[in-house]
Amino acid sequence: MTFSEVNIFGVYVAPISVMMLMGWLVTLLLRWLLMRSGLLRHVWHPSLFAFSLFLIVLSLMVLSAPLLRVA
């Protein structure tokens, strides 16, 4: 499994930084959905839950990236 740098307007950035940004956006969407449904109020520590949710989303993105890569 190899990851190559991503070219963003002539600047090469590490692929993990792009995945972290996408993971953060997905986490924001999931937190919004949880707040709207009322499930987030049952969480003991919302900040810890948000951080854990981000780590889960980021891990899933990193582990599934090679599977989604087109040769």
- Beta-bridge partner residues of 7: 12
Whole-angstrom distance, CA of residue 21 vs CA of residue 36? 23
Q: How far is CA 43 from CA 28, 35, 38, 49, in A?
A: 16, 11, 10, 7
- pTM equals 0.83
More confident residue, 59 or 18: 59
Whole-angstrom distance, CA of residue 13 vs CA of residue 46? 31
pLDDT, one tens digit per residue, over 21-50 is 999 999 999 999 999 999 999 999 999 999
Q: Is the pLDDT of residue 60 over 90?
A: yes
Confidence of residue 66 (pLDDT cuts 50, 70, 90): confident
Burial code (b: 16+ CB inside 10 Å, e: under 16) for 44-58 equals eeeeeebeebbeebb
